[in-house]
Amino acid sequence: MDYPLLISSALIVLGTILLAVSLSPTTRILRELAPGSTQSRWKLLRGFIVLFIAGYVVCLGTFSVEGDVSHVVVSLIFFLGACFVRLVCVLARATVTDIKRIPALEAETITDPLMGIFNRRYLERRLEEEFARARRYGFPLSLLLLDIDHFKKVNDDHGHPAGDRVLKGIGEILKKSVRNVDVAARYGGEEMVILLPHTRDAQAVILAERIRRKIEDFPFPADAPSGSGIPLRCTVSIGIAGMTREGAKAGQLLEMADTAMYRAKQDGRNRTVVFPCLEETAAAAGPAA
């Protein structure tokens, strides 16, 4: 039995199989890539793999009836080359999958699962960034703090599922009301915060009143979607704070907005108040809730 020829043939056949299998992940990657230079390069790689397969088959056909050690060495090199191509294709496919998963994982870590807006962790990070940017370049910066009026009563009278639907509905309203540069986030419980870069108090009041009226007029379902109960009506109290030259910390914006929001509660709820609350800068609107 000619063992060198047998080994050489086996290595070439295995290498050809590896190259053929490598076409699968390459084709999958091509399907997911948008037309462009990257897709063209992957097509070129797939073309090379096909060419290599053809070369391996031709090499196998050129072996003489009797093999020698040189055939084994050449076949081993070919086989290792096929292993390398297979490894590159597998790693590339796994990398593409991981890259596609990263945005989804990031969204999960910075998004409130119920309301669909950002969470407190992301808000605090962005607040520090926007505050530093505004102070450095002299940009205006405003912050809205919203609190649902009598939310405990909603949960007590209609159950927590109804309260969850209210939160989810308000989350949708906020997402549709803000700009891409704004940050709408759930601050905690029934409190939401909207961070408004490049926005002065007067502009913030206009947005706050628009949101307040949308929430006031929105029919939140009291029962499950399949039910026929009378829809809930909810209102919010909103405090607004704008960045001042004296402000030294980003957290002060939240404190000032919180003070204004509690003033809105004291004045009858379902209204917007701008800090400082002692001045006549409040935009009171709507009946008390």
Shared-domain flag, residues 129 and 193: yes
Shared-domain flag, residues 255 and 127: yes
Shared-domain flag, residues 74 and 128: no
Q: Which of 47, 80, 110 is the last residue of a domain?
A: 110
Domain that holds residue 251: 120-274
Shared-domain flag, residues 32 and 94: yes
Please give the pLDDT value at position 288: 40
Q: Which of 79, 110, 141 is the last residue of a domain?
A: 110
**Spans in the chain with pLDDT lower than 50:** 226, 278-289
Indicate whether 281 belongs to any domain. Answer: no
Indicate whether 223 belongs to any domain. Answer: yes
Rg (C-alpha) for the chain, rounded Å, is 32
For residue 50, which of 24, 73, 84 has the smallest C-alpha distance? 24
Which residues are the active-site residues? 190
pLDDT digits (tens, 9 = 90+) for 207-223: 999 999 999 999 998 77
Indicate whether 280 belongs to any domain. Answer: no
Indicate whether 64 belongs to any domain. Answer: yes
Chain centroid, CA 188 distance in Å: 20
Shared-domain flag, residues 142 and 269: yes
Please give the pLDDT value at position 76: 76
Shared-domain flag, residues 172 and 43: no
Sign, CA torsion 195/200/203/205: positive
Q: Which of 110, 140, 175 is the last residue of a domain?
A: 110
Indicate whether 134 belongs to any domain. Answer: yes
Shared-domain flag, residues 51 and 149: no
Residue 49 CB-half CA count within 13 A: 27
Shared-domain flag, residues 96 and 133: no
Shared-domain flag, residues 253 and 177: yes
Please give the single-letter amino acid code of residue 199: T
φ/ψ of residue 242, rounded to 5: -110, 150
Structure tokens belonging to residue 170: 């308000």
Please give the pLDDT value at position 283: 44
Shared-domain flag, residues 23 and 127: no
Report the CATH number that the domain containing residue 235 is assigned in CATH.
3.30.70.270
Contact present, 74 and 7 (Cβ < 8 Å): no
Shared-domain flag, residues 106 and 79: yes
Shared-domain flag, residues 97 and 210: no
For residue 262, which of 273, 278, 250 has the smallest C-alpha distance? 273
Domain count, the chain: 2
Please give the pLDDT value at position 281: 40
